[in-house]
Chain A
Amino acid sequence: MNAKGTGDLGRFAEPALLVLISLADGPKHGYAIMTDVEAFSGSPLGPGTLYAVLARLEEAGLIEPLEPVERRRPYRITGAGSTAVAEQLDQMGRFLELGRARVRGAEG
């Protein structure tokens, strides 16, 4: 999965994950993705970065475009996209647990 997942996106890997997470609870258009990502991550997502990520995710088959509404085109996460983001989060979860366990060990 990693070949088509977010692992090979280089410097766009992190914003790609943020976009996938943002799309996980339903289709959104560009502006909605930007405000959503900024709201839950706290870091701004520029328009250039957003569309570079959208192109890569669409190329990888992780998201798909929908019919535009008032010029604003929503994007929907695909099945492959859901799997990819779940795997990515699981992996990060394992890092999280490992890291917490080690920090606790160091404290205790």
Chain B
Amino acid sequence: MSRTRAPIRHRLLLRTYPAAWRQRYGEEFLALLADRPAGWRAAADILGGALDARLHPGRTPLSVDEMLPHAMALPTVSAATATFGIVTGVPPVGVLSRRAFMRRVLGVGVALLSLEFLGGTLSFLWPNIRSGLGGAFRIGSLDSILATQPSFADGQYYPVNEARAFLVNVPAATALASGSPISVTDPSVDQLLALWRKCPHLGCLVPEPCVDLHRILCRCHHSTYNILGEKMSQGPAERGLDRFAIRMEADGTLIVDTSEITQGAPNLGPDHLVFSDPHPWEATCHI
């Protein structure tokens, strides 16, 4: 038996078939092509056959050497394939091949990774402010504030450090800044201001009001605000201090909500202030 090497064209055509098919039919198929070289029409027919063999991998019979004698033929072909697939290394029908298994593992891995990325991204987007600036702060009842700091009734601000705010008792504070202090022990929630201690010019933390004029002077660029946070003449800021919303719960607990901000009034000059203290407009606040 002379085994001449098959032409490259025939071997390429044979390569289009799956490995199991080539194992079973390769020799005789090359012999057939040697007897009758394939033209373009036969080549197209072979490509169709290869596609068919790949679409129906379970249909390729096993290598003849490994088949049972036909007298012992098993009742169904799929059973025979399942039995001998293990022996020959050909994946049995309905059982995952090694390659398919690896592909599936890769696919599941990629899917898990994508889910992780998606979850991570969403968790970053999720609002997570429960405390710190942006949260709502319970600062206790008016009574507890007055108990902590009795001067709040006389118009001194009450610092709410966790909210970076000054709580202002408006009627008492304006009276104090006017030079004729009164005591207001039960201001309504509308008579309270929570001034954000952030200069609207460039964001500096503003210091406590000065004691002589009861004005707030930003140390960065000398923007000056009155006791209600309204912008006075000096300094570059174009509006008054921003304010946080204040709510009172049914039991009297005050809440400073730093997620709800009202912008300070625009700087329109002395005539537009809600409160003008009696000190000269241009007076310097000594810290």
Per the CB 8 Å criterion, the residue count for chain B at the interface is: 32
Q: Does B162 contact A (CB under 8 A)?
A: no
Q: Does B45 contact A (CB under 8 A)?
A: yes
Q: Tell me which residues across on chain A come within 8 A of B31, comparing CB atoms.
A: 29-31, 70-72
Q: Does A48 contact B (CB under 8 A)?
A: yes
- What is the CB-to-nearest-CB distance from A69 to chain B, in angstroms, rounded to a whole number? 10
- Contact pattern, B 24-36, Cβ under 8 Å of A = 1, otherwise 0: 0101111111011
- Do residues A30 and B27 form an inter-chain contact, with CB atoms below 8 A? no
Contacts A30-B32, A68-B28, A72-B31 given: A48-B52 contact, CB under 8 Å? Answer: yes
Q: Tell me which residues across on chain A come within 8 A of B73, comparing CB atoms.
A: 61
Contacts A30-B32, A59-B59, A71-B28 given: A51-B49 contact, CB under 8 Å? Answer: yes
Determine the distance from Cα of A44 to Cα of B46 in the docked complex, in whole angstroms: 13
Q: Tell me which residues across on chain A come within 8 A of B41, comparing CB atoms.
A: 44, 46
- Contact pattern, B 46-64, Cβ under 8 Å of A = 1, otherwise 0: 1111101100000111001
Q: Tell me which residues across on chain A come within 8 A of B36, comparing CB atoms.
A: 31, 34-35, 47
Q: Tell me which residues across on chain A come within 8 A of B30, comparing CB atoms.
A: 71
Q: Does A64 contact B (CB under 8 A)?
A: yes
CB within 8 Å of B: which A66-102 residues: 68, 70-73, 78
- Do residues A47 and B28 form an inter-chain contact, with CB atoms below 8 A? no
Residue pairs across A and B with CB atoms within 8 Å: the count is 88
Could you jot down 27 A-B contacts, CB within 8 Å? A29-B28, A29-B32, A31-B31, A35-B36, A46-B41, A46-B44, A46-B45, A46-B46, A46-B49, A47-B38, A47-B42, A48-B42, A49-B49, A51-B29, A51-B49, A51-B53, A52-B48, A55-B21, A55-B53, A55-B59, A61-B73, A68-B28, A70-B31, A72-B28, A72-B32, A72-B35, A78-B70
Residues of A that sit less than 8 Å from B by CB = 29-31, 34-35, 44, 46-52, 54-56, 58-61, 64-65, 68, 70-73, 78
Residues of B that sit less than 8 Å from A by CB = 1, 3, 21, 25, 27-33, 35-36, 38, 41-42, 44-50, 52-53, 59-61, 64, 70, 73, 77
